[in-house]
Structure 1
C-alpha cells in the first residue's frame, strides 16, 4: 500500500513510540544565521524558480546559494557547521570528516521552501502554494491550515531531547512544542535537556552515546 493511502489513524497505529532529538517543529525563533538568512531572503524559492528542484549541497546551484548567504551582513561562514547548527560542544575532527563524507543528503527544494515559510511565520502550518486558488484546491481554504498538534495521542510514548546551544531547534521553539504536549500522560513523556549540546552533538557528539543514546535505549526497552 502506498504511503499516501494511509489515514492518520492507520499511521498512528503503526507507531509504538517516537524519539524526538533536537526536534524541528516550531522554527520561528531559529537563531542559525545561515538558515534564517536563507529563509528571510527567499533563497529556496529563488532556487525553485530557477528550475533547481533538488537541494544538494554538492550541486553547483546550491554552492552558489551558500556563497551568496555567506556574503550577507552578520553571517560568518568561516566555521560553516557552527554557523548552521550552533556551537557544538563535543565533536572531534575525525567524526566530522566521516560525517561530511556522507552528509548532508539532498532534499527537495520544495521541502526547504516549506521550512522557510514556517521560519518566517512562526507557525506549524502546511505548505503554502502562494496562490489562493491552489491552496483552495489542496486544502479547501485560501490559506494553508495549521497542523493539529492535539491529534498526537496523549498515551503515545515520546522521548524528547534538546540542547541550549542548538541554533536550529531553539529552546524557545521546543518549549512551544512542549506546551502543545502539556496534557500528555506524565509517564509517557520523557524530556531531556542538555545545557552544552547544539544540533550536531545529538548526531555525532563524542559523549552522545552515554548521555543521550543510553537513556534513549532504556526508554525504548520499556515500550
Structure 2
C-alpha cells in the first residue's frame, strides 16, 4: 500500500491527496467493522456448530475434574489491584494426595487465551494432565482481562480504567504475582515455567529486568516464542499500518475490550478462507495466528471454539501491532515524547534487554508459524545468554504447540529436560563438597 520515500517525491499533489484519502477510507472501514462487532451481536448463522460435547459448557475447574484430576482454585491479587484466577492440579490421577512435594511447574497461556488452553484435549494429549501424571505440581495462570481474570479491587470491566493495560502490565504485575503465590503455597523456592506465545513475551520481559525474581525460575520453556514481530504473516500486520489511528478511534468511542464476535469473524473469514478451511476461520484466534488442519483434531473444534478467544484489551492488541511496525521488543508506545516521559522517563518506549536474562531457556518454535515467525525467532536467539535447548519443529504453526496431534512428542522432550535438570540438582545437593572439618 505504501511506496518508498524516493518514489513518493514524484507524486503530484493530487496523487498525494488521493493516496491519503484512500488510506483514511481503509482505516474507517476497518474501524467501523471492529467497532460494530465489539458493540453488537446480531444473530447470524455460524460456519461451525458447537455441537453437543459437554466440555463446550464447562469452565476450567470442571474440565479438570471431569477427567478425574483434582483441582484447586485460587485468586491472586496483583500489586495494581487485579484479581487473577489460577487453577492448580496438585497431582495426577494415579496419586491419592499431594503430601509428597512434587516439582512445581507453571503454565502460562498465549494471546487471547486462558488457562483452558492446556486442558482442552484428551488427558493423554493435554500438557497440564501429562505433567500431573508425570509427578509434577501443575499451576495454570490467567492474565488480566481474560475469562478468569475479570475482577479488580476498584474497577469493573465497564470502566475504561480496567482495560488500560497491555502485556507490559502482565509482565510487570501478573507474572510475578502468580509465580510467587504458587511458590509460597507449595513451599518451594523455584519452579519450571512453560509459556506459549504471549506467555513467552511476558517472561522474556520480566526475567530480563528482575534478576532476583529470575532465580525463582529453574528453566523457562518457550513455546512459539514472541520477541520481535517484524516478519509476521498474521493479518495483524495489515492492521499494524494504522495502529495509531485505530488506537485513537477505539479510545474516542470507548471500545476498550477486544473480544470479537461472530459478525467480525465472518467478515474477516470471507477474505481469508475458502470452503476447505471455513470451519477453522470462524475463530478469531485461528484467523490471527494461523491453523493447521493436518495437526488439529476436528472433533475437538467445538471445544476449542467455546473457550477461545478468551479476551484481552484493545490496548494489548495495539501493542502487538506496534511491535510489528518497530520490529523491536519494546514497551507500549504512547505515541508522543511527553506521554512516554510520564511513563518511562524517556521520550521513546524502552526496549526490553533480553540479553540480560540469565534464566536457562529451552526454545521450541514452528516453521509454519504466522505470529512467531522463524526469522524473528532466529534473530532473537543470539541475544539470549543461556539457551540450553533449541528446536525448530518444521511444520508446526502457532497453535500446534498446545493442540496439535504431535504435540505430545514435544511434551515428552520437556519432561526429559526437566528430569535431567532435577537429577543434576539432586546430584549437587547430595554430593557437593562441603567445608573440610579437622577434629583434634
With the length of structure 1 as denominator, give the TM-score of the two structures. Answer: 0.82
Quote the offset at 1:38 in angstroms. Answer: 2.2
Q: Equivalent residue for 1:55?
A: 258
| Structure 2 CA distance for aligned equivalents of residues 222 and 48 of structure 1 | 50
Q: Name the larger-Rg structure.
A: 2
Deviations 1:80-120 (A, max 9, x none): 36643335231121122211111121011111111110111
Match for residue 374 of structure 2?
171
Q: Which runs of 4+ in 1 moved over 6 A?
A: none
Q: Are 1:165 and 1:196, in contact at CA under 8 Å, matched by a contact in 2?
A: yes
**Structure 1 residues 92 and 4, CA gap change in structure 2 (3 angstroms):** closer
Q: Deviations over 1:13-58 (max 9, x none)?
A: 22111111011111111011x2212222338524344211111123
Q: Deviations over 1:115-172 (max 9, x none)?
A: 110111111111111121110111111111111111111xx22111111111111000
In 2, Cα distance between equivalents of 1:117 and 1:218: 37
Question: How many Å separate the matches in 2 of 1:31 and 1:131?
Answer: 28
- Is 1:86 the counterpart of 2:287? The answer is no
Distance 1:27 1:176 in 2: 11
Cα separation, 1, equivalents of 2:397 and 2:414 = 18
Matches within 5 A, 1:7-156: 8-32=210-234, 34-42=235-243, 45=247, 46-58=249-261, 63-64=263-264, 66=265, 69=268, 75-78=271-274, 79=277, 80=281, 83-88=287-292, 89-153=294-358, 156=359
- Structure with the larger RCO, 1 or 2 (CA within 8 Å, 6+ apart): 1
Q: 1:87 to 1:109 in 2, by over 3 A?
A: closer
- CA 1:57–1:11: 2 relative to 1, 3 Å: farther
Change (3 A) 1:136 1:163: same
Task: Call closer, same or farther: CA 1:44–1:202 in 2, change over 3 Å.
Answer: farther
For 2:297 and 2:173, the matched residues in 1 are separated by: 41
What is the count of residue pairs matched by the alignment?
A: 208
Q: 1:76 to 1:190 in 2, by over 3 A?
A: same
Is the CA contact (8 Å cut-off) linking 1:47 and 1:53 kept in structure 2? yes
1:214 aligns to 2:412 (yes or no): yes
1-structure distance, mates of 2:362, 2:300: 25
Question: Any gaps of 5 or more consecutive residues in structure 1?
Answer: none
TM-score, scaled relative to structure 2: 0.44
CA distance in structure 2 between the aligned counterparts of 1:37 and 1:77, rounded to whole angstroms: 16
Change (3 A) 1:11 1:57: farther
Structure 2 unmatched ranges of 5 or more: 1-77, 80-171, 177-208, 422-440
Q: Which structure 2 residues correspond to residues 155-194 of structure 1 after superposition, within 5 A?
A: 156-181=359-384, 183-184=385-386, 189-194=388-393
Question: In 2 relative to 1, CA 136–69 (structure 1 residues): closer, same or farther, beyond 3 Å?
Answer: farther
CA shift in 2, pair 1:105/1:92, >3 Å = same
